[in-house]
Amino acid sequence: MLALSRKVGESLVIGSDVEVTILEVKGEQIKIGINAPKSVPVYRKELYLQIQEANKEALNQDVTPEALEALLK
């Protein structure tokens, strides 16, 4: 892991099109701004992990033709 020090108003760039800016620091909380193309998904890690788990569960479900037909109604 790369650890960087940044002050309020300073940024870092990831790749050529993602910019992360430190907006505010209050005690132990840091507010950041992320500027990225709409094609780049940005998630909080806990939400990303929930999405991954839901996708795994969906893959393990048995889908019947009747269930698929019900979705189209």
Segment 28-51, tens digit of pLDDT = 999 999 999 999 999 999 999 999
Q: What per-residue string of b and e applies to 34-54 under the rule 16 or more CB within 10 Å gives b?
A: eeeeeeeeeeeeeeeeeeeee
Separation between Cα atoms, residue 23 and residue 30, nearest integer Å: 8
With respect to residue 4, please indicate whether it lies within any of the assigned structural domains: no
- Which two three-digit tokens encode residue 41? 């998904």
With respect to residue 3, please indicate whether it lies within any of the assigned structural domains: no
- What's the domain range around 17? 11-72
H-only helix segments in 1-73: 45-59, 65-72
With respect to residue 63, please indicate whether it lies within any of the assigned structural domains: yes
- Its pTM stands at 0.72
With respect to residue 6, please indicate whether it lies within any of the assigned structural domains: no
Are the CB atoms for 31 and 21 separated by under 8 Å? no
Is the pLDDT at 15 greater than 90? The verdict is yes
Confidence of residue 73 (pLDDT cuts 50, 70, 90): confident
